[in-house]
Amino acid sequence: MSMRAAIFDSWTRDQIITPDSLVLHLGRGLDNRIGRVGHDASVWIDADQKEVIEERRKYFSETPTYRIMSVDAKKTDWIKDLPEASHLILPMERISMHLCHEEFLHLFECLDKKYDSIAVLMDCHTEFSARMSMKQQSCQ
């Protein structure tokens, strides 16, 4: 996981090419990428499922340029609430095991309608690896 984090950190840092970039980090969990990468984008949004965001809010505070957002990536109604930006930076972690092909297409189509420039980095899982990941028990 630390190698993946380093790759995502470096890529995200390299993508912040304009001061009015928007970082929309889907599948955020409790990771603190913004703390490692720095914050040169005009707005950074960490987004995940409602339960995860409720936990995240216990440890991280919003600022005028850093937001925490509860989203359902399978639905796209929340996209209208995203701020305008010249460049969308979209790191997506652990999302591919939760969305089917059609849901991905719809998500990307809706984002493409809103933003002129989008950079995406995501991890991908086969159906088998997604099933195995869901079966793993967490450490107690």
Q: In whole angstroms, give the CA distance from residue 66 to residue 61.
A: 8
Tens-place pLDDT, residues 24-75: 999 878 888 888 888 777 899 999 999 999 999 999 999 999 999 999 999 9
What tokens appear for 77 in the block?
């109604």
Q: Is residue 6 part of a domain?
A: no
pLDDT by residue (tens digit) across 125-140?
Answer: 666 766 666 665 444 4
Q: Has residue 13 been placed in a domain? A: no
Distances (CA, A) of 24 to 66, 131, 132, 136, 137: 10, 26, 27, 28, 29
Residue 53 lies in domain:
18-135
Average pLDDT score over the chain:
86
pLDDT of residue 130: 60
Q: Between 139 and 93, where is the model more confident?
A: 93
CATH number at residue 81: 3.40.50.150
